[in-house]
Structure 1
Amino acid sequence: MQTDVLIIGQGICGSFLSWYLLAQGKEVIVIDEERASSPSRVAAGLINPVTGRRMVTAWMVEELFPFANKAYTDFGAQLGIQAFSRKDVVDLFPNPFMRESFLHKLTEGNEYIHRVDDEMHFANWFNYEFGAGLIGPAYTAYLDRLLPAWRAELKQQNRLQETSFDINALQIEPDEIKYDGIHARQIIFCDGPAGMHNPFFQALPFSRNKGEALIVEIPELPQDHTYKKSLLLVPLSEPGLFWFGSSNHWEFEDDKPTPAFLEQGKNLLQQLLKIPFKVVDHRAGLRPATLERRPFVGFHPLHPSVGLLNGMGTKGCSLAPYFAHQLAQYISGNTSAIDPVVDVKRFRRILERQ
């Protein structure tokens, strides 16, 4: 079987990369063993213009937000689904210090921080004492629709192999890649946390962390916003369902859901909500983050046919479309360079030494 590009992984990175490459006229085969704990299937899909408790404006937000808007809209339109929706974040201040910090950012003129007309407007649904603010524009990517829909399309076109990838069976030759009867010009790893163990790229400064979230049914809560009070409550595509989380653990035994988070999440929801809720699922997964909080994009300096699109961390929904497009343009010869801030060749010395 002959193809231009063999892609390992069909999370958000592999999905956008395969979509863009096919649009450029490239032949693509994707290998992916579907796992419930993959980071793209555990993620909330939130695209937030500010980050952290200090409400710092997200990196490259001016470029990433309009790009993501068009990318998800176009991808969804091709698949006949809504893949993207504006869901500004209602910040329910948990204490007076967070309120003061928010108001300080407001006076600094941060364009993504806004007042709300009535700070107690949300008191019908939530317990909170110190008022509320608004962060926006913010968006939700409906990964629970997009990834399965694109998977079905790849299967229909015979471009998907649903199996685990065995890197020991990979053969790198001067003019082609060989794997299990597949002959390709290039291979791109979009394999999330597994990238830490990839012999070509394991020397890169990955930094995995574990997140957990609950899927909660709250039929009385409006789904026109994302809500935040310490943790996030993000509306999903199915009416009445919300994603609640997420935790960050740097030390963990495995990628499985833990009873401790389930108990903690239920307690927090009971304190937060004035209306009935029901936990319908509990998810956990490892995030492919990086020590410097910048993605890994591009090709190995010693193996120019072996590439990587990884390290998106908690910002995958905004970063993946943009850098998948950039990598697809590079592969197709429409651009001569990858942004040096994300190009894996910035780690040339350690990759060559490895």
Structure 2
Amino acid sequence: MKNVDYIIVGDGYASLFFAHQLIKHNKSFVIFSEGYKSASQVSAGIINPVVLKKFTTFWMAQKQLDFLTLTLAEIESYTGRNYFINAPIHRIFHDENEQKLWLKKAHSEELSGFLHKEFYHLQEVNNHFGTGKVNQSARLDVYHFFTDLLTYFETHSHLVREKFQYEELNVSDSIYKDLSFKNIIFCEGMAVKNNPYFSHIPVIPNKGHHIKVKLSQEIADDITIKKKHFLFSLENGLYFYGGTYDRDQLDYQIDASAVEQLENGLKEIYPKNFAIIESNFGFRPTVKDRRPIVGRHSKHENLYVFNGLGARGILNGCFFSKNLFNLIEKKIPLPEEINIDRFDTKKDVY
């Protein structure tokens, strides 16, 4: 029987960033990955400290950005690749009122570090009222981040490419099949609804579509453009445009209405011809109070959950992985804002 400190179930941002904490602290672990692309793996990879609809920021945005920069440098030390794409967001203004609101917020203490105080005009897209640049915004190289890390885990015998079978778990003896473990971390996204230990946590599925398109005329590859959705270049000559937010159409297939919404949104800012090459979707696990759900099972002290990262999966997954590690290894209490105990956890099935 193989002994490990941790079993991690899932292969999205929560899983990989928590695995990095384990590598950093010389803990043994295995990750169970079903092999299909999670919502994280088809995400845009946007790193953004600003809510671009209202020009506001969010809880601990600067601390999360700083910690992500540090963490990505640590990951680069063993994968050999820098995943940080310096392509700041340029938000297209709808009208003059948005310009004025942006300037007002840019001079506030809370947002002065994030909202650039000068406007820009882009040549490639329709932006009659100009754009505002979000300082410290960027993108993650999503494809290589997941490909490299999962390959690294597999090479170092950390990766098990199979579905985790809950019925094979012996919690009282801390055994799963031929594995003896100390702790299990469930990082399953919306698949948590099938988990008998944490199916009760209040995550809400939010279906997001994006399209990959071929543009008849290229646009700059060193920026990320945003109006209704994000537009940016990919490595293979294609462009990413997305994503939508839908809490109603939750079937596991491409929704024609969502693709049409994206097509119309792109036509609004891109005046030339384009062709849709590919459509994708994923289910973001969101929470009503917009905070992750992290913590220990109410009955089984060796079972933990790390979920509800929402649309800010990169920043949330990176930053709060440290809190979960410190809870388990150092007995440091979680911030109340992310603790699973803020909900009624008396409904555990097991």
* Other-structure match for 1:166: 165
State the identity %.
25
> Separation in 2 of the partners of 1:270 and 1:348?
46
Q: CA deviation at 1:108?
A: 3.6
Does structure 1 residue 229 correspond to structure 2 residue 231? Answer: no
Q: Any stretches of 5+ residues in structure 2 without a counterpart? A: none
Q: Is the 8 A contact 1:68 1:321 kept in 2?
A: yes
Residue 151 of structure 1: aligned partner: 150
Maintained 8 Å contact 2:207/2:250: no
Structure 1 residue aligned with 2:16: 15
Aligned to 2:117: 115
Describe the shift of the 1:69–1:241 C-alpha distance in structure 2 as closer, same or farther (beyond 3 A).
Answer: farther
Q: Distance in 2 between matches of 1:48 and 1:83?
A: 15
Partner SS state of residue 204, structure 2 = coil
Question: 2:70 — aligned with what?
Answer: 70
RMSD: 2.1
Displacement of 1:58: 2.0
1:104 matched residue in structure 2: 104
- TM-score for both structures, normalised by structure 2: 0.91
| Cα distance per residue 1:282-332 (max 9 Å; x no partner) | 110100111111111121121110001111000111111111122223333
Change (3 A) 1:273 1:327: same
Residue 296 of structure 1 aligns with which residue? Answer: 293
In the TM superposition, what are the counterparts of 1:183-222 in structure 2 within 5 Å? 183-218=180-215, 220-222=218-220
Q: Is the 8 A contact 1:204 1:351 kept in 2?
A: no
Matched residue of 1:25: which SS? coil
1:321 to 318, 322, 342: 318
C-alpha distance in structure 1 between counterparts of 2:212 and 2:315, whole Å: 22
The structure 2 residue matched to 1:283, chosen from 259, 280, 283, is 280
**Deviation, structure 1 residue 352:** 5.9
Q: Within 1, Cα distance between the matches of 2:227 and 2:338?
A: 32
Q: How many residues align?
A: 346
Say whether the 8 Å CA contact 2:47–2:314 is kept in structure 1.
Answer: yes
Q: Which amino acid aligns with 2:332?
A: S
1:113-158 superposed Cα distances (whole Å, 9 cap, x missing partner): 12335x33x1x20012222211111021112111111111111112
Check the 8 A contact 1:300/1:345 in 2, yes or no. no
| Bigger mean CA deviation after superposition, 77-86 or 26-35 | 77-86
CA distance in 2, matches of 1:55, 1:350: 38
What is the match of residue 53 of structure 1? Answer: 53
* Higher deviation after alignment, 243-252 or 106-115: 106-115
1:336 equivalenced with 2:338 (yes/no): no
Whether contact under 8 Å (1:201, 1:351) holds in the other structure is: no
- The aligned counterpart of 1:26 is 27
